[in-house]
Amino acid sequence: SDITDRVDKMLLLFATGNKHKVSEASAILSHLGYEVEPLLIREKAPELIEPQAEGIEEVAISKIKQARELVMGTELEDSVLLAEDSGLFIDSLGGFPGPYSSYVESTLGLSGVLKLMSAESERGAEFRAVTAVCTGRRVITATGICRGQISGEISGEMGFGYDPIFIPDDGDGRTCGEMHSSEKSSISHRGRALKAVSELLNLPSK
């Protein structure tokens, strides 16, 4: 009965190996008139190469270009594609782990990051996401930032990645790991980047 149920939503295929990103993006964009599905090539999320020692914007553009290459010449050639690079940037560590966030999460882990921060009273940090969309005619990117503090301990079971050690400044003192996904997305780097990219998609192309 809701009018949005009867209008065809534009489908975006998200090129990512991270299913948490897909479910967050799907919830955020469904309110904005888009449907999100994972991009699957031969029934699998494609393995995209992440160029190292680059900023997250360059990495996001590299991911969307690789995704575009993969769909060219297939039945998915005309789909609109989405890719994202994101990370946690800790002020007192000069922005570390930044583009290496995924690697550091799987090697040091959250407790290792807290250990690096144990003697540090300056605990400011930010999550950043760069979202890239490719319509075939053009590539659009947008950045989203979420400022916060690194917590003293791991807290919360929700979300993923660094959520249990990140307390967003726009929240009420809980970590993102203690928030339901709708609360997190209303203030998150991903929520902000996806809203910005959807506004750019709605503009007439040049």
Which residues are known catalytic residues?
Answer: 85
Shortest Cβ 126–ligand ITT spacing (Å): 11
Smallest separation, CB 15 to ligand ITT (Å) = 7
Q: Which long-range contacts (CB under 8 A, 24 or more apart) does 39-46 make?
A: 39/13, 39/14, 39/15, 39/67, 39/70, 39/71, 39/76, 39/79, 39/81, 41/70, 41/71, 41/74, 45/15, 45/16, 45/17, 46/15, 46/70
Q: Which residue is nearest to ligand ITT (CB)?
A: 161
- The site for ligand ITT (CB under 6 A) is made up of 16-18, 21, 50, 84-88, 101-102, 105, 127, 159-163, 176, 188, 190
Coil vs helix vs strand at 74: coil
Task: For the CB of residue 11, give the shortest distance to ligand ITT in the complex, in Å.
Answer: 18
Among 160, 159, 170, 158, which residue's Cα sits nearest to residue 126?
Answer: 170
Smallest separation, CB 202 to ligand ITT (Å): 24
Helix or strand or coil: residue 30? Answer: helix
The 10 Å CB-count burial string (b at 16+, else e) for 159-175 is bbbbbbbbbbeebeebb
